Chain A
Amino acid sequence: MSDAAQFNVTLTARDLAVSRGGRVIVDGVNLVVGPGEAAVLRGPNGAGKTTLLRALAGLLAPASGEITVSAEDARIYCGVLNGGKPTLTVTENLRFWAALYGASFGPARAAFGLEPVEDRPMRELSTGYQRRLGLARLVVSGRAVWIVDEPTAGLDAASTTAFECLLAEHRARGGAAILATHEPLDAPGARTLELEQ
């Protein structure tokens, strides 16, 4: 990873409320995530973690409040769904993403150890490998703000560690991250945001 690709993006949410199906799911959220910082959302099922993440990623319009990002096209959202096509092979999925984000996919494939399965259709992969492919999109995108829902669900210990290392590397280069998880995650210096039901 070169030092040239330094990120400098800050995401700010002010007094944010998000509703789904006409019902307010989360409100009063204030959050600032700057270069090198990370925030971890925690809370019971149904607390609105996914809804909040999707709003922060710009996929859901907030009911009130505002979200500002200091650069355009800086956010990448990786939800519980991996966003790949089941009938395409691992490499075909990665190549498609690389074309969309205008980047290369080689480093991402190596970072998540996907070479052994690169020619297999995604639907034939185990849950863990599918998740690794989904997470590889974060690296492919080259975007500054990672917004990830349950990053380590389905991952084995080694892959979880690999993700933690990549996250640390991303933050060291000035990247930011907002994660929602139920599992213990080693992210030094990350702020925790507790959501209540």
Chain B
Amino acid sequence: MNALLAIIARDIRLAFRAGGGALQAVSFFALTIVLFALAVGPNLELMSEIAAPVLWTAALLATLISLEQIYRADREDGSLDVLVETSSLLALTALAKATAHWISTGLLLTAATPVLALLLNIEGAALWPLILSLLIGAPGLSLIGSFAAALTAALPRAGLLIAIIVSPLYAPILIFGAGAASAGAAGDPQYSANLALLGASSLFAAIFSPLASAAALRFNLD
């Protein structure tokens, strides 16, 4: 348990050090939303209709660009060997890595959302469904993404390949996440159904991703 907490703490610390992915992801997220708000212009009605899908897409893309480094950096400096050698169960190590990634990107994006949502004309009661959907869905993004990162750990410039691998797996989370945020804002009864399906997607990722990541890492050790 101590070792898992140490891995989470180390990865979060690395994410905020020079060259870490946390600030990159949150800047990308903010930039996308600002540019989008500028492009749509002062049409407030249109804006509030598409705000949730836009915010969710921006969060997904910001997560996507931070995935590549999850395992590749560890493989390049030899610390992946150390993690494997000290791990009692590699799937748990992979779960710790995914958790650290969620805290240093997904949770950070969720925290930045209330400010950025203002630009998209989301305020007051409409904000909570959006935050809740990100809190439930973003862990799923990190879990699925870390599996793709484990699969491509040995490949240089794996960014495009990772995008191709995760896109179909991200689709349900995007659909239910943006769906829940929109439905919640509109007072639509489909809100809770979308949230439940979003939670199910994240839970499925929480089971499948650590096991699949562990298998992929073993394969990528040589």
Cβ contact within 8 Å between A100 and B82? yes
Q: For this complex, into which size category does the number of interface residues on chain A fall?
A: 20 to 34
Question: If A59-B85, A97-B82 touch, does A83 touch B77 (CB 8 Å cutoff)?
Answer: yes
Confirm or deny: B27 has a beta carbon within 8 angstroms of a beta carbon on chain A.
no
Cβ contact within 8 Å between A101 and B10? no
Closest A residue to B218 by CB, please name it: A61
Interface centre among A20, A76, A96, A97 (most CB of B within 10 A): A96
Question: Is the contact region of chain A dominated by helix, strand, or loop, or is it mixed?
Answer: loop
How far in angstroms is the closest Cβ of chain A from B127? 35
Q: CA A80 – CA B222 in complex, angstroms? A: 14
Confirm or deny: A90 has a beta carbon within 8 angstroms of a beta carbon on chain B.
no
Confirm or deny: A86 has a beta carbon within 8 angstroms of a beta carbon on chain B.
yes
Beyond A79-B78, A79-B81, A85-B79, 15 extra complex contacts between A and B, CB < 8 Å = A20-B222, A21-B222, A54-B222, A58-B85, A59-B85, A60-B222, A77-B81, A83-B82, A84-B77, A87-B14, A87-B20, A88-B13, A88-B17, A100-B6, A100-B86
How far in angstroms is the closest Cβ of chain B from A35? 21
Interface centre among B5, B78, B83 (most CB of A within 10 A): B78
How many of chain B's residues have a CB under 8 angstroms from any CB in A? 24
Interface string of A26-45 (1 = CB under 8 A from B): 00000000000000000000
Confirm or deny: B221 has a beta carbon within 8 angstroms of a beta carbon on chain A.
yes
Residues of A within 8 A of B7 (CB): 100
Confirm or deny: A57 has a beta carbon within 8 angstroms of a beta carbon on chain B.
yes
Interface string of B65-101 (1 = CB under 8 A from A): 0000000000011110111111000000000000000
Residues of chain B touching chain A, judged by Cβ–Cβ distance below 8 Å, are: 2-3, 5-7, 10, 13-14, 17-20, 76-79, 81-86, 221-222
Residues of chain A touching chain B, judged by Cβ–Cβ distance below 8 Å, are: 20-21, 51, 54, 57-60, 73, 75-77, 79-88, 92, 96-97, 99-102, 134, 137
Question: If A96-B10, A102-B3 touch, does A85 touch B85 (CB 8 Å cutoff)?
Answer: no
Question: If A88-B14, A88-B17 touch, does A101 touch B221 (CB 8 Å cutoff)?
Answer: no
> Which listed residue (A60, A75, A84, A96) contacts B85, Cβ 8 A?
A75
How far in angstroms is the closest Cβ of chain B from A67? 14
Residues of A within 8 A of B19 (CB): 87
Closest A residue to B87 by CB, please name it: A100
Residues of A within 8 A of B79 (CB): 83-85
Residues of B within 8 A of A100 (CB): 3, 6-7, 82-83, 86
How far in angstroms is the closest Cβ of chain A from B126? 40
Q: CA A57 – CA B84 in complex, angstroms? A: 11
Residues of A within 8 A of B2 (CB): 99, 102
Cβ contact within 8 Å between A137 and B82? yes
Q: CA A51 – CA B222 in complex, angstroms? A: 8
Residues of B within 8 A of A59 (CB): 81, 84-85, 221-222
Residues of B within 8 A of A87 (CB): 14, 17-20
Residues of B within 8 A of A82 (CB): 77-78
Residues of B within 8 A of A51 (CB): 222
